[in-house]
Structure 1
Amino acid sequence: MRKSWVLVVLLNFLIASVLGLLLRAAFVWEISWMDYRYMLHGHSHVALLGWLYLGFFLLIHGQLIPQEKSRKTIYSILFWITQVAVLGMAVAFPLQGYAGFSIFFATLHIFSSYLMVFQVWRDHDRSNPQVTLLLKTALVFLVLSTLGVWTLAAIMATGGKAGLLYQVAIQFYLHFQFNGWLLFILLALLVKNLSKELSANYFQLLFRMLLFSQIFTFSLVIFWAYQSFWAYLVHGIGAVLQFLVGAAIIYYFKNAGSSLSSQKSSWPFAKLAIIVVGIRVLFELLLVFPDLAEMAIVLRPIIVGFIHLNMLGLFSAYLLFVMYPGEQEEKSTTWLPGSILFFYLGFVGSELYLFVQGIFYWLEWGRLSWFYEGLFITSCFLSIGIIIYIIEYNKINYFEIKKSICMHHK
């Protein structure tokens, strides 16, 4: 991975966390100059498109494209055009919400992603058919998810923003981002780095179960919007399939091992991702019960908590694990526990607050004491953890460059 690109992506993560911090602060103090909805749009777009999308773009470029093809100028152009779009959204959305400039930059990002899909489809390493299948599935889901965005644009153009279809379109986009594009590209990268391949029959079975489970579980949104019994039934089938394949994947990766495990210092980030996978599939399985399904799709703290569970606990933790630049020098061995500590405090603390508050609302027990203050403090921890990670990432690279220069002179 190009270290300058990694730094840019990490800074996007920090920007997203700071915007999120402002959202938390708005419930503690009055911030008269900030429009909450506009800032929320800015935070979500930078987090999803500037951090997660570009983060996995880096991993695709560094691990799934042959070295000679990865040198193509098109990848640099794509990275920087996408980054311009991210910075444009980071400024435009907090200032104006969905309006001319923000829509322009969001559209630029979508078309850049289409070009990325086209280029990666042509250039990717085809030596492992299992990785190829997972990668292509991820790319198809990436394009598929954007149908939700185009539907949103059509609805907004006709003034139908308040309708159910508007909410369904948003959930369509988010569902196939998290449960399609991001999930399958994560699996492609994991399988790429396995010490041994899965047997062909076992892989095909797991792949089909996972594919259908992710499509079926979108039915939960249809059930919420239209109260369709058949949608609820399809979601139940998808949840059971997802639980089975999730348990199988966790078991396999635990026993098969990966070359990534050599990065002992950043292993706590990987452990967090593994734990979250277990929580995620268990959570989805519990939603086969109607009361719990209603709670999960109606109560905002539960919704936000589940989104952050995926974004921070699974995908972000994996990126932080992989982006770590190797075993550090002995004199800098104290830094990573600090970043892990603050990241864990921020993530686990905010998730506990959100899910417990959601349960309190469901049981009609009211609001937790110091709920908003607690969320703000845990968000501060998360931002501090990201800052420490960035500082030490640069420090480690500085030591590596210095060591390389010294060896060259010798």
Structure 2
Amino acid sequence: MQRSFWLKFSIFNFLIVALLGVTMRYKILYSMPFLDQKHLQEAHSHFAFYAWITNVIYVLILNYLSKINSAINLKKYEKLIIINLIASFSMLGTFIYGGYFWASIAGSTTALLCSFAFFFFFIRDSNKIQDTSKIWFLAGLFFAVISSVGVFNLGFMMMSKTATQDLYLASEYYYLHFQYNGFFIFSCIGFLLFSMKQVGSAISEKQNKLIFWLLFFGCIIGYGLSVLWMKMPVYVFAVIVVATIGQTIGAVMLYLFVKKNWTNLVLKWSPMHRFVLMYAGFAFAVKIALQLGSNIPALNQFAFGFRNVVIAYLHLILLMCIATFLVNQILATNYFTITKKLLLGVKLLLLGIFLNEFILGLMGVFSIKYISIPFANEMLLLVSVLMFASIFWIFINLKSFKKT
């Protein structure tokens, strides 16, 4: 399996995600009666999660396995990647057509079953691996599996017409939490630590485990932050606060480890590689700070009470932190020729993502006083076009220079 092809195909999928984003932004301003906005949103989120991010993570994990132990048979993983992509494209069509119904649920179930199988195979093969990144990938894949409970519950409620507002939101946030803060973030940390190890900046076993367990339990218990609007005993709230503080300590320790090794990274990594790491790291730091702050009931009510704030927060993690980090990881595989044209596309993408986050953030802040920003939707449409154009530019300039 030529991994350079599948990584470039992931960028193509990212392009489709951006096109759906442009379409939704356009539809807010202008009439497109033949498309349902809710169905577009469902197609957008599912395709982004499975065809773009999950696919990149799967292929990069294969790359990791091939480097750490070349004796591991990767054929079974390659088949799962293909099945996941077929399921993703079926979800793209079925969600746009009719939202949640038997065909779209079948597609999402297939993709989830792929994650179960991938996790099972990785557990079995990881017995042959002694490496600090292993536990991060195991945890990430574990979170991908348990997030499925939210999707199955959502699908059941939508099919049976038994959804209540609280149950619907609790299931949706459960799925999103363990995908964003679990599967995506833990996988990215695994890639970061392995990349640093490859250039001579390996983390110690003791420090790695301490950071891992602080973030792991922080993620498990941190789901409670998403449902603070539900009535819960004081002692449960206290546990959530302690777990969030622990997660913050773990994140600070990770930052200090990277900072300690920065001189070596300056020598070994390109300026763009380092800049994107700082860019994604800044988004991760803001995410951790917002999580810590959301323990304050008034702030939590604000965060989940305004749609613009929720969208800004989700984009902060998915775009500014995870997507940029993964694009950086794709370029760092040495499968592609890094040209000035390619780097221009990356710079424009970073600019587009920053502007998108800035406008959404402003809309969120001003919505406290119910003030609308003039031409905000027009600006967001232009920014979404900029992101689409930059991803297209990256795609056409992403050229493989060696077979893998």
TM-score (norm. length: structure 2): 0.91
Mapped to 2, the partners of 1:61 and 1:301 lie a distance apart of 37
Letter of the 2:214 counterpart = M
2:84 is matched with 82
- Pick the aligned partner of 2:318 from 311, 326, 347: 311
Deviations 1:297-354 (A, max 9, x none): 111111111111111111111111111154976xx74213421332122111111111
Aligned: 1:148 with 2:150: yes
Q: 2:90·2:104 contact (CA, 8 Å) conserved in 1?
A: yes
Letter of the 1:88 counterpart = S
- Pick the aligned partner of 1:105 from 92, 104, 107: 107
Aligned: 1:212 with 2:217: yes
Mapped to 2, the partners of 1:314 and 1:286 lie a distance apart of 19
Using a 3 Å threshold, how does the CA distance of structure 1 residues 204 and 328 change in structure 2: closer, same or farther?
closer
Using a 3 Å threshold, how does the CA distance of structure 1 residues 375 and 235 change in structure 2: closer, same or farther?
farther
- Pick the aligned partner of 1:344 from 320, 345, 350: 350
1:282 is matched with 289
Using a 3 Å threshold, how does the CA distance of structure 1 residues 184 and 368 change in structure 2: closer, same or farther?
same
Mapped to 2, the partners of 1:101 and 1:23 lie a distance apart of 22
Using CA pairs below 8 Å that are at least 6 residues apart, which structure has the higher relative contact order? 2
Mapped to 1, the partners of 2:279 and 2:272 lie a distance apart of 14
Mapped to 1, the partners of 2:285 and 2:74 lie a distance apart of 39
Mapped to 2, the partners of 1:40 and 1:232 lie a distance apart of 32
2:139 is matched with 137
Deviations 1:198-226 (A, max 9, x none): 33333332222111211222112231133
Deviations 1:152-178 (A, max 9, x none): 233234322233112101111110111
What is the deviation of 1:146? 0.7
What is the deviation of 1:270? 2.1
SS at 1:201's partner residue? helix
Mapped to 2, the partners of 1:201 and 1:71 lie a distance apart of 30
Letter of the 1:113 counterpart = S
Mapped to 1, the partners of 2:176 and 2:282 lie a distance apart of 22
Structure 1: gaps (5+ residues): 405-410
Q: 1:64·1:125 contact (CA, 8 Å) conserved in 2?
A: no
Letter of the 2:328 counterpart = F
Using a 3 Å threshold, how does the CA distance of structure 1 residues 12 and 232 change in structure 2: closer, same or farther?
same
What is the deviation of 1:132? 2.4
Letter of the 1:341 counterpart = K
Deviates most, 287-296 or 63-72: 63-72
Q: 2:22·2:381 contact (CA, 8 Å) conserved in 1?
A: yes
Q: 2:87·2:110 contact (CA, 8 Å) conserved in 1?
A: yes
Q: 1:38·1:95 contact (CA, 8 Å) conserved in 2?
A: yes
Question: How well do the aligned residues superpose, as a CA RMSD in angstroms?
Answer: 2.3
What is the deviation of 1:119? 1.4
Aligned: 1:272 with 2:279: yes
Mapped to 1, the partners of 2:384 and 2:71 lie a distance apart of 40
- Pick the aligned partner of 1:169 from 168, 171, 178: 171
Q: 2:122·2:138 contact (CA, 8 Å) conserved in 1?
A: no
What is the deviation of 1:239? 2.5
1:11 is matched with 12
Deviates most, 213-222 or 226-235: 226-235
- Pick the aligned partner of 1:296 from 297, 300, 303: 303
Letter of the 1:132 counterpart = K
- Pick the aligned partner of 1:385 from 364, 385, 390: 390
1:408 is matched with none
Q: 2:115·2:141 contact (CA, 8 Å) conserved in 1?
A: no
Structure 2: gaps (5+ residues): none
Q: 1:140·1:181 contact (CA, 8 Å) conserved in 2?
A: yes
What is the deviation of 1:289? 2.1
What is the deviation of 1:133? 2.0
SS at 1:48's partner residue? helix
Mapped to 2, the partners of 1:249 and 1:181 lie a distance apart of 18
SS at 1:225's partner residue? coil
